[in-house]
Structure 1
Amino acid sequence: MSSQADQIVAVLKSRGLRVTPQRYAVYANLLGRYDHPTAEDILSDLNQSAPTSSQATVYSSLQALREVNLVREVLLEEGVCRYDANVGPHHHFRCQCCGAIADIPWETLSSLNLQTLSPRWQIESYEVTVRGMCDRCQPKEPQ
């Protein structure tokens, strides 16, 4: 087993999870991605070489990983749940044209003043989604 594989196994065990081939595969897939895939995207990836995972298995693996804070759900568009193995604090950018999603470092938007919000609200956490057009979708200026 490679060093990265050993690390994945160790992380799963340290969180009290039983290491199954499917759970390992789902977590390893997410660790190697930055596109915030859906469960269907992950299933498609896993089954490209040899169909061995079911939709139910992927969903149950994601739920188990989420419960121990190794994965988080990202809701950037209505009705679509995406997953992210980056569970540290950060924000997101979503291209309105192509749908690309990118992480924005937490510090980039650290100057937000939450004290100006209603004093009746007890804020526990927040995440900002910035929407716009990525560099690939922006019209190119003639040279």
Structure 2
Amino acid sequence: MGLTSEIIVQALKLKGLRVTPQRYAVYANLLSRCDHPTVEQLVVDLNKNFPVSSQATVYSSLKALQEAGLIREVLLEEGVSRYDANVQPHHHFRCRQCGHIEDIDWAAFPPLALNCLRPGLQPERYEVTVHGLCDPCQL
């Protein structure tokens, strides 16, 4: 078991999760990528090396990982859930032409004045999504 495998197993155990092959595979896959995949993309990718991952199994693994705070769901387009193992506060850029998604450092934007919201609203968190064209799509 390599260092990366040990870290993944320790992270799962530290959060009180049972280390199943499916949870391990889903979490390891998300840690290895930065494209914020959908469930469908995860299923295809996982079944290349682990051909027993059903969509239901991936969903239940994602739910457990999300509830444990190891991953987060990212909603960058209507009706599409994407998943990210980077749980630190950050923003996103999404290319309107090819769909490329990229993390933007939290400090890239000044903090929002959440105290300017109308009384009765209690903000908990926010993130900015920038829509535009990525480098290749500008050509």
Displacement of 1:51 after TM fit? 1.4
**How far, CA to CA, are the matches of 1:95 and 1:68 in structure 2?**
30
Displacement of 1:50 after TM fit? 4.6
Distance 1:104 1:65, change over 3 A: same
Structure 2: segments with no counterpart, 5+ residues: none
String of CA shifts for 1:51-79, please: whole Å, max 9, x gaps: 12111110000000000110100001111
Alignment match, 1:54: 54
2:82 is paired with a residue whose SS is: strand
1:97-136 paired onto structure 2 within 5 Å: 97-136=97-136
Letter in 2 for 1:23: R
Structure 1 length-normalised TM: 0.93
Structure 2 length-normalised TM: 0.95
Task: Compare the two structures and name the one with the higher helix fraction.
Answer: 2
1:53 is paired with a residue whose SS is: coil
2:23 is paired with a residue whose SS is: helix
**How far, CA to CA, are the matches of 2:96 and 2:110 in structure 1?**
24
Displacement of 1:130 after TM fit? 0.7
The structure whose Rg is larger is 1
1:45 is paired with a residue whose SS is: helix
**How far, CA to CA, are the matches of 1:50 and 1:28 in structure 2?**
12
1:44 is paired with a residue whose SS is: helix
2:138 is paired with a residue whose SS is: coil
Structure 1: segments with no counterpart, 5+ residues: none
Displacement of 1:135 after TM fit? 0.8
- Aligned-residue Cα RMSD (Å) equals 1.1
